[in-house]
Structure 1
Amino acid sequence: MATRPVRVAVTMGDPAGVGPEVIVKALAALPAAERGDFVVVGATEALERADRTCGTGLSFGPADAADGRVRVDEVAMAGPLPAVGRVDPVAGDAAVRFITRAVALASDGAADVIVTAPINKEAMNLAGHHHDGHTGLLAHLTGRRAAFMLLASERLNCIHVSTHVSLRTAIERATTERVLETIRAGHRHFLRLGRPARIAVAGINPHCGEGGLFGTEDTDFVAPAVERARAEGIDVVGPISADTVYARAFGGAFDLVVSQYHDQGHIPIKLVAFETAVNVSLGLPIDRVSVDHGTAFDIAGTGRAHHANMLSAIAYARLMAGAPRA
């Protein structure tokens, strides 16, 4: 029995950024026979502009096209196509419209997985959509209280206890329950992909507080979460000082690091896998993978944006779509 092709809905992101460019470059790099597995949720006009800029030579058709054209699920914008390279509330609103449509496709079973191009948080908020980014918006659209951000790469993977909040708020959010739920989410994800994870939990304070000299959060909140996870049969250790745990994981000692806040996880990932790491949302009823870069307004419209990250996101999305959900 033939396996049905994976249906991937790719959201165009902020049309004033590099999203349309990395999408057309990535699709052009794929074998023509595979492009029918994809539908771009966005605006044909923006994709055609990106195609002219990048010289990819693609043609675009409606979502039900079967003639080799790139299929586009057309979503109307609130105004004319914004110029590239600047913050524009019309573009921010359009990005939210694209994501909302893609979530509907995935929720209805019309798409197996969503791949998202970058959005601009300032433009989105100027348009009246007050979310911290993709993760918060997706949780809102799917009726979930929160989701978990996993940054995945070949040799280093990090899942975050908190993301787009102040450092003060991040420390407040690192409760035993939240740390435990983050460990569980990472554990379940790796089991779904067919390989149990060796998990390390990074400490919050320097040297995990050094016995209380630099704070007690690690002993009061993080260590109890690790103990509870171990009691559930999860292969997890910690807290381990953040100044060593990432090097150990990169060297092969661990498959996943639980990072306590945004920069603690993002800095090492972007240092070792800037062009290939992807952003995965866990804890949602749908699957979503994203590029791990921003809208890059400084180079938008020049054709210089590299599409390696988008190809990585597509590959990871196909991996997730092929793994049954629990």
Structure 2
Amino acid sequence: MTQPPRPLAVSIGDPAGVGPELLVEAWVRREQSGLPVFVAIGGARLLAEAAASRGLVVPIETVSSLEQAERVFHRALPVCSDLDGEWKPGAPDRAGASLALASLAEATTLAKSGKAAGLVTGPIAKALLAEIGFDHPGQTEYVADACGVAAQDAVMMLAGPQLRTIPLTVHVALALVPALISVDLICRRAHIASAALQQDFGIEHPRIAITALNPHAGEGGRFGDEEARIIAPAIERLQAEGIAATGPHPADALFAAHARGDFDVALCMYHDQALIPLKALDFDSGVNVTLGLPIVRTSPDHGTAFGIAGTGRASAGATIAAIRMAGECAGRRAIHG
């Protein structure tokens, strides 16, 4: 693995969710999973309690700097920050949401300053954050704003061992999608994706498959005209601009095993069109990667899972994958600039 030059900063997420227990398990599995050095931002006491609940032996060591974290990582999970709170699995409250937000803010600052090689964010509960004044749709938009990047230029990519997908439209009602897609939006997302796949994933000539909106790619206009009116012209423009884009592809066939080797990422028209195949194929190893930022940011592609927090049933696979992917991307940036 391409190692990052400095530790990764990991926010702990909502302490009532599965984030803390999966983070400590990631440290336990650091060697077998080939993980880079990472530091938890806050939560020393609650992380120790979360580890105990899973029967894990996890020494916790509070550090004053990320340089110190590098020196202790082999023997203890380094925690940078005095932030802490109660570990109450399955019982979310405003205090926990405040802790999650404070951890996110400190971790983002460390990545922005260059002290951390990248940012990995633990899962949060958006509704609880809204109650304490968090006015962003999610962590992606928060991090983008902190980095001075317009929300529309922070592109969410879901990545797993078998598939990468990008939703063109994200958290909006399905009925609104046809009015939101445009030639300009498709082209903007595709250019950001192509640049990020080159810079962070080492893919020299990224291939982008662009899905249709309607069944059977519109069936020649019988099921809608967005393919002919918007999507196909966008693909033509992208091809003229040197982007290896293809489509519009009927989404019901694009993700079959024999087709997945023909593209590096699928640009999909709406949320579920992108997330259903990714989660069906790579649920326990899916990573949410934010493209278009000046920093590396990843997150496990699952939520807080309050219902199983503290039971030991949650898989650490996606957390481990998010840390590993952030390290690989940060390492490539360090080498290639």
TM-score by structure 2 length?
Answer: 0.89
Amino acid at match of 1:261: Y
Matches within 5 A, 1:1-326: 5-31=5-31, 37-63=37-63, 64=65, 65=68, 66-67=71-72, 68-74=75-81, 76=83, 81=86, 83-146=88-151, 147-192=154-199, 193-195=201-203, 196-247=205-256, 251-324=260-333
Distance 1:285 1:163 in 2: 21
Distance 2:4 2:189 in 1: 33
1:244-301 Cα shifts (integer Å, max 9, x gaps): 1222675412221001111110000010111111110011121101101111111111
1:153-189 Cα shifts (integer Å, max 9, x gaps): 1221101212112213333321111111111122112
1:138-161 Cα shifts (integer Å, max 9, x gaps): 222222212111111122110121
Distance 1:142 1:170 in 2: 27
Mark the CA change 1:164 to 1:61 in structure 2 (over 3 Å): closer, same or farther: same
Q: Aligned residues: percent identity?
A: 36
Contact in 1 for aligned 2:49/2:87 (Cα 8 Å): no
Mark the CA change 1:96 to 1:272 in structure 2 (over 3 Å): closer, same or farther: same
CA RMSD across the alignment: 2.1
The structure, 1 or 2, with the larger RCO (C-alpha pairs under 8 Å, 6+ apart) is 2
- 1:137 positional shift: 1.8
Q: Secondary structure at the match of 1:323?
A: helix
- 1:313 positional shift: 1.1
Contact in 1 for aligned 2:168/2:181 (Cα 8 Å): yes
Contact in 2 for aligned 1:199/1:236 (Cα 8 Å): yes
Contact in 2 for aligned 1:26/1:307 (Cα 8 Å): yes
1:286-322 Cα shifts (integer Å, max 9, x gaps): 1101101111111111222211111111111111011
Contact in 2 for aligned 1:176/1:222 (Cα 8 Å): yes
Distance 1:167 1:101 in 2: 35
Contact in 1 for aligned 2:6/2:115 (Cα 8 Å): no
1:93-133 Cα shifts (integer Å, max 9, x gaps): 22221111111001111001111221111221122213222
Q: Secondary structure at the match of 1:236?
A: strand
- 1:42 positional shift: 2.4
Runs of 4+ aligned structure 1 residues displaced above 6 Å come to none
Mark the CA change 1:137 to 1:250 in structure 2 (over 3 Å): closer, same or farther: farther
Distance 2:266 2:35 in 1: 34
Contact in 2 for aligned 1:156/1:249 (Cα 8 Å): no
Distance 1:249 1:128 in 2: 47
TM-score by structure 1 length?
Answer: 0.92
Distance 1:35 1:189 in 2: 22
- 1:14 positional shift: 0.7
Amino acid at match of 2:43: A
Unaligned stretches of 5+ in structure 2?
none
Distance 1:126 1:57 in 2: 35
